[in-house]
Structure 1
Amino acid sequence: MAELDGENVPAYRMVRVTAPDAPVAALADVEAWRARESYPEILLAGGPVFGVVREREEGGWEIVSSFTGLAPQDARDDMGCQFRKLAQEAERDGDADAYDECVRAAKRTDWETVDEMTVLGARYRVARAERFVRSGRQGPEPPRPSDPDPAVPGESYKTRDAERGLVIDPFTATGMSEGILKVELLALVRKAGAVPGDVRDDSLRAAETHPGGVLLPATFGTAEKEYGHWRPDSAGTATTPQGARDTLAMGLRVMIPWHLGLTPEQRAPYMAAADRLDADRGDELEVAGRRFKVVRIERLVRIGPDGPEGPRPSDPDPQPPVMVQDQQLREQGVITGDEDEDAPIELDEQTQRLADLFREEETRRDAKSRGRG
């Protein structure tokens, strides 16, 4: 491979660094540098996440659907939703041709596994981001003081998603610490023997085909310490530290008692722990011999000459498009077409118990919200 330097380096392979131009940005860069000392290890944090991006005429790719999908099909479904929104706009504007084009595109996503489409002259793509977490002797890195955390407990879902509308453009300059982190993450590939061969092969291939990268805003999740090691939750992540705390609190009040089949008396320590989490807004919690932590997660989108990396062949993608799934269920007799949409849904005992726990938590949150009002 020819060595690239100076003006011959393509934009997608450049890492542009500049001095922060605002006090908050300067503080964030300092905190990022300190994190390198306290949390020197960089580890993979679960599987990749997927979002939808749109190519811009002026350069770069705009995020139109956040990187929250845990499988490529999640993002394909979001892409279909984007086309339906465009169809509604075209209908309001009286543009019949645009409406027809958008509806056709949306219907195609219902039936086909398609990761890129051109609609109304713009390219849309399902893009992939890898997740990483810093770790050190104290375990995984928690949220930093400069990470925005505006929501009150139980209401993080009201926080605006700062990721949507951002532009993925490797030419955009970053601070020194973020630039170094980007270089470190781009150098990481899956280790031989640690993952199946096809996963490692895809990782090595991506380093060649998409050698550049852009860091997305940090997200937050939870981890639990088991047998001396911290195990990140493989579920989706939150856009703020409070979002991760709210997810953990929901787990303590609903999901853990349901999974363990706890009685009201046995649930009490978990309920009390969730109350402490809401009151203290801390990042670590111990309950019933278990230890939980809110962790900070970095995400990197790899970039190549044609833009952001899409799904890899080895990425888990268990669900087919929605109409294919519907057809399969009908062929299996799971859906017959005779269902009465107004008929009450009968739940088995275990599912009913989960519904009751969710209802109880919803009532508690509503009362708490009214009290704040």
Structure 2
Amino acid sequence: MDDDWRRRIAQVQAELVRGGDPVAWVTEADAVEGAMRYRGLAVRGALFGVAAREVGGAGPWRLVVPVRAGMPQESRDGLQSLLFFRAKDDTDDPAVRRELIAAVRVLEREPVDEIDVLGVRYRVVRADEFARSGDDGCLEPPRPTDPEPVFRVWEGRSAVPDPDVDVVLDPERSRGPMAEAMRFGLRSFHYGAERYPAAVRADSERAVGTHPDIALLPVRFGVVERTGETWEPHDSLLPTPHEARRSLYEDMIRTWPLVHRWSARECEPYRRAAELFRAAGRADVARVRGREFRIFRAERMVRFGPDGPEGPRPSDVDEYGPPKLHPTMDEDGTLRQSDDPAAT
């Protein structure tokens, strides 16, 4: 560890002591215990979102589209929708709407990773997702200090806000001594295993030099299923441990029976397992018919260079091109299903 990082961690430790916040102390103790019990890192791969800042400004980059997409194009789609609904719902100024619509039309036809709109620069950003793993290969479960809703709802729509929205991407933001140590350790991280294609490994190694700093994103949670010696992720990452538990409950009791067209007899063991899992409240393991599911804790990092957060790499692959997601909009806000001005 170089002297700059030693000073940085010492500074964060001093701030923690000076602050006298018992919650911060308990959270840091949890982080220490987690690092001791789960000493390995299991890397899942890349995720993408969209960050924004003023053009030419010195202000911070803030997330406007959560970092949870598996492909860059999904995040471009999210940006297209964000700008479309701003044009539709957030302005009555034809000039403002005209510029928003122009950007939407670019995103409908071009896989752009950066675009300036109304003095704001939007950039598709790339993150790496990883989880801590123990000597037994199990991924780290939620910690006692991880966020949980006051009232746990198991059915209906979730009202939990996404922790990524408006979060500041800042490598210098203090998150505690253990987080600083993690950031230091991740600076040299790159894909080295032979299971990654050569182009992916080369891009990853290059990024260590071009984007050497690290910003950590809010923790998220998901569901994995044991498959032999490995764990297979289910669904997307969610804001709280309870949302991940709720997702697993919904899968067992509703989604999988519909998708697989199970008979009532096939559904019954999953229904029983789901209700036992729900009754436990904060369980992190569910087993049914020889299958084992676990709730796990996922961490994400965004690399930073002199120009800000890293965007997609040449080896990041899209499975489809830019789509037209919304009706055509005129500068007065009129929506048309066709690009033909004469169409109704």
8 Å Cα contact 1:105-1:119 kept in structure 2 = yes
| Structure 2 residue 100 is matched with structure 1 residue 105 | no
Q: Distance in 2 between matches of 1:270 and 1:86?
A: 43
Question: Compared with structure 1, are the counterparts of its residues 104 and 308 closer, same or farther at alpha carbon in structure 2 (3 Å cutoff)?
Answer: same
How many angstroms does 1:319 deviate by? 1.5
AA in 1 matched with 2:31 = A
The aligned runs of 1:1-373 (5 Å cut-off) are: 17-18=12-13, 19-20=15-16, 21=19, 22-44=21-43, 46-56=44-54, 57-88=57-88, 91-92=91-92, 95-138=93-136, 139-150=138-149, 151-154=152-155, 157-227=158-228, 229-233=229-233, 235-258=235-258, 260-281=260-281, 282-323=283-324
How many angstroms does 1:5 deviate by? 7.5
Q: Secondary structure at the match of 1:31?
A: helix
How many angstroms does 1:26 deviate by? 2.1
Q: Distance in 2 between matches of 1:181 and 1:154?
A: 36
Q: Distance in 2 between matches of 1:75 and 1:297?
A: 20
Superposed structure 1 runs of 4+ greater than 6 Å apart: none
AA in 2 matched with 1:154 = E
AA in 1 matched with 2:241 = P
8 Å Cα contact 1:90-1:99 kept in structure 2 = no
Q: Distance in 2 between matches of 1:232 and 1:205?
A: 29
AA in 2 matched with 1:64 = V
Q: Secondary structure at the match of 1:236?
A: strand
Q: Distance in 2 between matches of 1:164 and 1:246?
A: 21
Normalising by structure 1, we get a TM-score of 0.78
- Identical columns (%): 34
Q: Deviations over 1:47-93 (max 9, x none)?
A: 3211111114452201111112121111101111222233246633x
Count of residues paired in the alignment: 313
Which range is displaced more, 290-299 or 152-161?
A: 152-161
RMSD: 2.4
Question: Compared with structure 1, are the counterparts of its residues 32 and 5 closer, same or farther at alpha carbon in structure 2 (3 Å cutoff)?
Answer: closer
Normalising by structure 2, we get a TM-score of 0.84
How many angstroms does 1:165 deviate by? 1.0
Question: Compared with structure 1, are the counterparts of its residues 292 and 67 closer, same or farther at alpha carbon in structure 2 (3 Å cutoff)?
Answer: same
Q: Distance in 2 between matches of 1:54 and 1:312?
A: 19
Task: List runs of 5+ in structure 2 lacking aligned partners.
Answer: 326-337, 339-344
AA in 2 matched with 1:59 = G
8 Å Cα contact 2:171-2:216 kept in structure 1 = no
8 Å Cα contact 1:47-1:234 kept in structure 2 = no
Q: Deviations over 1:178-203 (max 9, x none)?
A: 11112222322112412110110111
8 Å Cα contact 2:52-2:61 kept in structure 1 = yes
Give the aligned partner of residue 350 of structure 1: none
Which range is displaced more, 53-62 or 243-252?
A: 53-62
8 Å Cα contact 1:68-1:236 kept in structure 2 = yes
8 Å Cα contact 2:223-2:235 kept in structure 1 = no
Q: Distance in 1 between matches of 2:45 and 2:232?
A: 11
Q: Distance in 1 between matches of 2:157 and 2:221?
A: 12
Q: Distance in 1 between matches of 2:97 and 2:262?
A: 52
Question: Compared with structure 1, are the counterparts of its residues 177 and 298 closer, same or farther at alpha carbon in structure 2 (3 Å cutoff)?
Answer: same
Q: Distance in 2 between matches of 1:153 and 1:29?
A: 30
8 Å Cα contact 1:52-1:125 kept in structure 2 = yes
8 Å Cα contact 2:212-2:305 kept in structure 1 = yes
Q: Distance in 2 between matches of 1:315 and 1:17?
A: 35
AA in 1 matched with 2:59 = G
Which range is displaced more, 196-205 or 257-266?
A: 257-266
